[in-house]
Every structure is written in structure tokens, then in C-alpha cells.
Structure 1
Amino acid sequence: MVSGANYSYFQNDTDYMEKRSFSLFDIHVLVPVTIISIILFFLGITGNLLTILIFKRYKEMRTTVNMYLSSMALSDILIFLGLPSDLYRIWKYKPYIFGDFLCKFLFYLSETCTYCTILHIMTLSVERYFAICFPLKAKATITKGRVKGVILSLWVWALLTAGPVLFLFGVERRNGSLPDEAKECNYIEHSARTGLLEKMTWVSTIYFFIPVLCLTLLYGLICGKLWRTRHRLRGLQAAGREKYHKQTVKMLAVVVSAFVLCWLPFHIGRILFAQPQIILYDITQYFNLISMLLFYLGASINPILYNVMSQRYRDAMSNILSCRRVWPVRTLPRKLASSTRSLRHRNGTQPQVP
């Protein structure tokens, strides 16, 4: 894949590539892909920055769920730091002019953010499972202080587990060409010969598919719990709690579904292109190109989903974009704050939906 996170992209026949121009694709393909990528870049950076600002600015939005979503927004912003390099590589895959350090760092950063997003979604889903299935225990154990510690641990773990990527990639010249002509930001040939590249590819792919299986199980258990309790609970408090849980689960399920759909081709590509011989070269390259666009779409789509599914998020976004500054204590507008307090009173809990 072209994206820095999918490091099996160039494991195809290099001799065949030498017969082509230094651009991987024709101009009629490169132009629309570049336009789409630039649009995703600005949407992703702007949307995720506004998400962080909204969750930090308004006290009613500073919930444990939104703490995870803010951290995920930061991860998505960092992912877009690799987009300019990816665009350069599809326009001119060699020579790579940005140096060995930047080549290694962008691969590492993309892999770290990929792991970090997966870990955040997984942890957030586990938290919601406990909050719905074991509400009393969750109320006592899930605190903002502990969530901050968990988020920090997730980042540290992602940084550590992505570490081997630093030793798999670099700027090398291929096919005995002149140094200035053949410098490529690619896997190091030694890592491919020793099988280390293929092993890391499988580790990274398992990093995606096992959490997806666990998420499927968790949301099945959550839906089963909500289905069983909806006939037993009665009264205004029970109805309010049930409505709140359903809204939360619905929002998270949509976020998870979008994540899986956008990143699944990216991981399928890793399995296919880790093989030593790849047939149908042109088809696989276009598949990688589509996977790259979906990868960056996945990093930009969450703020759009929040706008579609959350009235409070839309109102907060509208107030920030209109530059209204009428809440010195940085709360939501009176109408929204009132409805939030009412929901908290009925549920006896802090609302979590962004």
C-alpha cells in the first residue's frame, strides 16, 4: 500500500517498475487521487482539531467516553502527517528526497497511530460493556483519573509495539543504479531476506483482526443485555438510562463499523502483498491506491459521524464555528446544559454521549 502504514507496498517485481516512469500511475489517475487526498487532509485535520477543542472547552462534554475520542482524534491528526510523503511517492517513487530519518519516522508514526486507534476502540468498547452490564461496579471504578492513566498506557504500548518498524525501513538504492537515481523509501532488503518483514506484517495484521473479533463479541453481549433488561425496567429513570445506553452503543457501533470498513482493505493488502510473488501487478497497485484513500478516510470520518449522530456535538460545533463567546465558565448553551442536567438526574449517572 502507498500509505506509510502498509509497508508491503513495494514487494513486487522491481525490474518491472524500472521499465515504467518514476511515477507509479498515469496522470489521469494521479490528479483525482491527489485532489481527494487533499480534501481528506483538510477535513481530517480540521474536524479532529475541532473535536478536541469541543471536548476540552465545554464541561458537559468532558466525559470518559469523550476522553477516549479526543485521544483518537489526536491519533488521526498524526496519521495525516504522512499524507504528503505518500502523495510524493505515488507521483515520484524515486528518488526519495526527504532523507532516511523521515522515511523511518513516517512509517513508524503511521504504524503507531494505527495500533493506537485499534487499542482505543477496543478499550472504549470494554468500558461500555462494563458500564451497561455491571453499572454499579463501573460507576465506582471508571473515573476520569483512571481513564487518563489508561489512555497514557495505550499510547506507550502502541509506541513500543510499533518499534520494530524502525528497523524494517529506510532509504536504499536498488538494482545497482546510480545513488541519486535509485534512492527509495522502502523496506530494507535485509529485512525481506531474513523474513522479518513478513513476520511483522502478520503481527500487525493480527493486531487488527483479533480486536475486531473481540469487538463483535462485546457488542453482541451489550445488545443482548439491553434486549433482556428493556422488558424488566420500568419508570422514568429506567427509560432514561435505557435511552442513554442505546444512544451511546449506537454511536460507538457506527464508529467501529466505519473503522473496520475503511481499514479492512488496508490489512487485506498486507496479507496479499507480503507474499514473495505477486501476480496481476497493475491490479494490486490500484487496490493499494484505493486502500490508501480508505485509510485516510477512516482518519477523517469520525467528526462527521459525531455531527450526524449527536445533537450536542452539532450545537457545540456550531457555536465554535460562529465564534460565540458567551459562556465564561465554558459550558454548553443553557438549553443544552439544562437537558444534560435533566438526563443526569434521571439516570443518576454522567452522560457519556458526545
Structure 2
Amino acid sequence: MVFFAFAGNVLVICIILKYKKMRTKINLFLLNLSFADLIMVTFNAMFNFVYMLNSHWPFGDVYCTFSNFIANFSIGLSVFTITATSVDRYIVVVYPLKARTSKKTSAIVILVIWLLSALLAIPTLIFSTTFTFEYSEGEKRTLCTLQWPDGLSGASTYDYIYQVIFFVLTYAIPMTSMTITYTVMARALWSNRMVGELNEGQREAVRSKQKVVLMLITVTVIFGVCWLPYHLYFLYIFHNLELSAEPWVQHFFLGFYWLAMSNSTLNPLIYALLNKRSVNVVCKSQFEFLIF
């Protein structure tokens, strides 16, 4: 999964950066989303896999802090990007006569998204820590976790409040906003009355918008499905802390974590399957590689 996520997102980034015709405003947001996915799989997923596999963190205190920061930072980066994309498409579809935002404005929005994501992840920089304990006779293990003022992650009220805020800002509000915007856009684009009043050129423009919106709706739905169990696990386990000691719970958590990480693998596939221009450019880049 990590291999395909890494390869897929690197390919998306290279294509958008290499081909000028791919540097559209919408693709700037997709580029940012690919960066978020690439950051997650490169600097967090594999290290966490080793950690979960052995129940031991061998990468040191500094990287523990960095890994925890990257996890929350990349989540914010992803969800804020797809939310901003939905707002941008909403303006284009619902208010077609309104002046469109420029690429420069989109770049500023992306910069703000990076700053907000970093700000949201700051608690992980402050409270991340490692501690070593004796697991069995002659064997020691190191944990990478958050040490809040009132206790460790999972048993801390501060941690629970942070998880609630994180869930609201990176899931509840964005998913509600995107549900509303895409519902309004779908009604506008798939209205039989509107399509009947257009000439052929306008119908083609509408069909083009429909394809883009369909792709973005798919990205949003996949994100929502992949990340919901992960968020709910941390909120639920605080109220049933004794449940975390059950041996089968770890398997559920690993499943939820795998599902969340799989989102980074699925996004490049969605771009390829639902974006005809991307498919054409990918085929061209592969042909150029073979000729070279």
C-alpha cells in the first residue's frame, strides 16, 4: 500500500509540474492533495507500521515528535485542500458569471492551508515524548505517545478535548460543508431544465464541469469513508479505556489505521480513472519514457 501510494502520488506531482497544460487551477489543489498524501506515506505510515508490528518505537525521541506532527499536519492538509476545492468549484458552477479566482489567489489559499494545518498540529510538537519500560525480563520497549499535563494520550482529558476539536475541524465541519456544496452543484449541473436551454458548446462546458465535480465528489466520499472509523476510535476509547486492554481491540485499530492510510493510495487512482486529460498525459509520459 505504501509503495503504490508513494508511486501514484509522485506520478501525479511529476505530471502536473512537467506539463504546462496540466497546471490548471483545479490541478493546483490536486497537486497539494498529492503532496499531503505523499508526506503521510513517506514520513509516517511506514514508521508507524514498524511501531505497531513490534510494539516498540526504535526511531528516537526527535522522530517520534516529527512523526506525530506529520500525521496530524497531513490530515489537515488533505481535508482543508478538498474543502477549498469544493468551495472553488461551487463558485464556478453556481455563480458562472462571477469573476473567477486566479491561480495566484489559489496559491495564497494553499499557503493558508499549510499554515492552518501546521497550527492545528502544534500540540503534537509540544507533548510528544518517548519512554522506555521493561516489557519482560531482559527486554525493554519504547513507546511513542503524547504526554499531556494530566496524563498520557488516551487517558487524558486534554487529549480527549484535542481529539474532539480535531474531529470537528478536520471531519465534521468539512464533510458537512462539502455535502452542502456538492448537493447544490449536482442540482445545478444535472438539472434537465438547464441542459435543455443550452446550445451545444454550452452543453459541452456543462459536461466538462460534471466530470470534474463527479471526480471531486468521489474523492470526498472516499476520504469520509476511510477516515471516519479512525476518528471515532479515539473518541470512543476515552470513554471505555478498559476496552483498549482487550487483545482483539488492537486488530480493529490496525484495520482502522490501514483504511485511513489507504486513502493516500486511492486518490491517484481516482484522478486517473475519472480524469480523461490525466489518462492522456500519463500515456504520453510513459511513451516518452520508453522512447528515452
Q: Same fold (TM over 0.5)?
A: yes
Is 1:269 the counterpart of 2:233? The answer is yes
Secondary structure at 2:140's aligned position in 1?
helix
CA distance in 1, matches of 2:141, 2:37: 32
* Count of matched residue positions in the alignment of Structure 1 and Structure 2: 284
Displacement, 1:59? Answer: 1.8
Residue 217 of structure 1: CA displacement? 0.8
> Residue by residue, what CA displacement relative to the aligned partner does 1:136-181 show, whole Å, maximum 9, x if unpaired?
21xx241111111110110011011110122232101358999981
Establish whether residue 167 from structure 1 lines up as the match of residue 126 from structure 2.
yes
Contact 1:103 1:185 in 2 (8 A): yes
Whole-angstrom distance in 1 between the partners of 2:40 and 2:71: 6
Q: Distance in 2 between matches of 1:233 and 1:178?
A: 79
C-alpha change, 1:227 and 1:234, in structure 2 (3 Å) is same
Which residue identity is paired with 1:304? L
Taking the aligned partners of 1:273 and 1:69, their CA distance within structure 2 comes to 34
Q: Which amino acid aligns with 1:200?
A: Y
Question: CA contact under 8 A between 1:64 and 1:144: conserved in structure 2?
Answer: yes
Q: Can you list the C-alpha shifts for 1:25-76, whole angstroms capped at 9, x where unaligned? A: xxxxxxxxxxxxxxx1111111101101111222221111100000110110
Distance in 2 separating the partners of 1:174 and 1:198: 25
How many Å separate the matches in 2 of 1:325 and 1:141?
39
Structure 1 Cα separation of the partners of residues 138 and 118 of structure 2: 32
In 2, the alpha carbon distance for the partners of 1:105 and 1:191 equals 22
Distance 1:272 1:184, change over 3 A: same
2:215 is matched with which residue?
251
Q: How does 1:237-316 map to 2 (within 5 A)?
A: 237-275=201-239, 277-279=241-243, 281-316=246-281
1:3-24 Cα distance to aligned partner (Å, 9 max, x none): xxxxxxxxxxxxxxxxxxxxxx
**Secondary structure of the corresponding residue to residue 135 of structure 1:** coil
Answering whether residue 45 of structure 2 is matched by residue 83 of structure 1, we say yes
1:61 is aligned with what amino acid? Answer: M
- The TM-score, its normalising length taken from structure 1, stands at 0.75
Give the distance between the partners of 1:179 and 1:60, measured in 2 at CA.
Answer: 61
RMSD: 2.3
Normalised by the length of structure 2, the TM-score is 0.90
Structure holding more strand per residue: 2
**Change in CA separation of 1:240 and 1:170 when aligned onto 2, cut-off 3 Å:** same
Matches within 5 A, 1:63-212: 63-80=24-41, 81-94=43-56, 96-137=57-98, 140-174=99-133, 181-188=140-147, 190-192=149-151, 195-207=157-169, 208-212=171-175
CA offsets 1:85-116 (integer angstroms, 9 cap, x no match): 2122122213x221111101101111000011
Pick aligned residue for 2:18 from 53, 57, 61:
57
Alpha-carbon shift at residue 295 of structure 1 (Å)? 1.4
Q: Is the 8 A contact 1:170 1:186 kept in 2?
A: yes
Secondary structure in 2 matching 1:303: helix
Task: Tell me the percent identity.
Answer: 22
Instruction: Return the letter of the residue paired with 1:102.
Output: Y
- Contact map agreement 2:25 2:106 (CA 8 A) in 1: yes
* Secondary structure in 2 matching 1:278: helix
Higher relative contact order (CA 8 A, sep 6+): 1
- 1:135 Cα deviation after fit: 1.3
2:189 match? 226
Task: Report the CA distance shift for 1:180/1:128 in structure 2 as closer, same or farther (over 3 A).
Answer: same
**Bigger proportion of residues as helix:** 2
Task: Determine if contact 2:124/2:146 at 8 Å carries over to the other structure.
Answer: no
- 8 Å CA contact retained: 1:266, 1:291: yes
Query: Residues 109-141 of structure 1: CA distance to partner in whole angstroms, max 9, x if unpaired?
Result: 11000011010010000000000011121xx24
Q: Deviations over 1:220-247 (max 9, x none)?
A: 1111222445245321222112111111
What CA distance in whole angstroms lies between the structure 1 residues aligned with 2:254 and 2:135?
A: 28
Aligned residue identity for 1:53:
C
In structure 2, the residue corresponding to 1:125 is in which secondary structure?
helix
Structure 1: runs of 5 or more not aligned:
1-39, 327-354
Mapped partners of 2:137, 2:168: distance in 1: 39
Q: Secondary structure at the residue paired with 2:143?
A: strand
Letter in 2 for 1:282: P
Alpha carbons of 1:257 and 1:283: their partners in 2 closer, same or farther (altered >3 Å)?
same
Letter in 2 for 1:307: A
Amino acid aligned to 1:108: F
- The answer as to whether partners of 1:169 and 1:187 remain within 8 angstroms in 2 is yes
- 2:175 partner letter: V
